């Protein structure tokens, strides 16, 4: 019982960001909140670099805190395992998003866009640079926008 309570406590303390799954909703939120949108194309159950990016950057407290104040997050996931299959409408949304921002099918691909959908910056692959450097690159892109 103690082990279960400890596990639940640890899960409850893990940083969590709210990722949107619909571009139109993300654009609407970005306009209302005057934020940019960070789009992440991932293969959550097959892409090792995607999993590392999520764990080592997106799931860190530093990124969660930064994103809550500065970004609208949008994830387009392309799982391969049958048990992780997405609903058909979500698959269609993800494919439409990829048709615009990820025509080459690169994973992971992270794209910073404005509320109108204009690309500000792209990151191809997992850069293995740490969360602080990634946040600094976002800030530099915002300044140069």
What does the pLDDT average to over 84-104? 98
Question: Which stretches within 1-145 are classed as H helix?
Answer: 2-13, 23-33, 48-53, 61-70, 88-101, 131-143
pLDDT at 16: 73
pLDDT given at position 17: 77
Mean pLDDT across the chain, nearest whole number? 91
Residue 30 in domain: yes
pLDDT digits (tens, 9 = 90+) for 17-63: 799 999 999 999 999 999 999 999 999 999 999 999 999 999 999 99
Q: Which two tokens stand for residue 118?
A: 């204009």
- Please give the tally of structural domains in the chain: 1
pTM, full prediction? 0.88
Domain assignment present for residue 62? The answer is yes
Collapse the DSSP code of 109 into the 3-class scheme (helix H, G, I; strand E, B; otherwise coil) and give the result: strand
Token digits for 103?
């025509």
Residues above pLDDT 90, as percent of the chain = 85
Give me the pLDDT at residue 132, please.
97
| Res 14 pLDDT > 70 | no
Asked, for residue 3, whether it belongs to a domain, the answer is no
9 found inside a domain: no
Would you give the end-to-end CA distance of the chain in angstroms? Answer: 53
State which residues form the domain around 35.
15-143
Q: Is residue 42 part of a domain?
A: yes
48 lies in some domain: yes
The answer to the question of residue 6 being in a domain is: no
Cα separation values, 9 from 13, 43, 49, 58, 116, Å = 6, 28, 28, 20, 40
How much is the pLDDT for 7? 45
Examine residue 10 and state whether it is found in any structural domain, yes or no: no
User: CB of 116 within 8 A of CB of 27?
Assistant: yes
CATH number of the domain that 31 lies in? 3.40.30.10
More confident residue, 33 or 3: 33
């Amino acid at each position: 019982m103690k082990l279960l309570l400890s596990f639940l406590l640890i899960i409850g303390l893990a940083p969590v960001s709210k990722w949107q799954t619909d571009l139109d909703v993300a654009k609407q939120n970005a306009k209302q909140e005057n934020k940019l949108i960070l789009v992440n194309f991932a293969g959550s159950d097959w892409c090792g670099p995607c999993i590392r990016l999520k764990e080592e950057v997106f799931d860190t407290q530093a990124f969660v805190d930064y994103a809550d104040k500065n970004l609208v997050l949008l994830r387009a996931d392309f799982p391969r395992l049958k048990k992780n299959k997405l609903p058909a409408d979500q698959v269609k949304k993800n494919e439409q998003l990829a048709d615009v921002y990820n025509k080459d099918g690169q994973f992971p691909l992270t794209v910073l866009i404005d509320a109108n959908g204009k690309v500000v910056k792209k990151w191809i692959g997992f850069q293995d640079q740490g969360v602080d450097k990634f946040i600094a690159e976002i800030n530099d892109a915002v300044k140069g926008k």
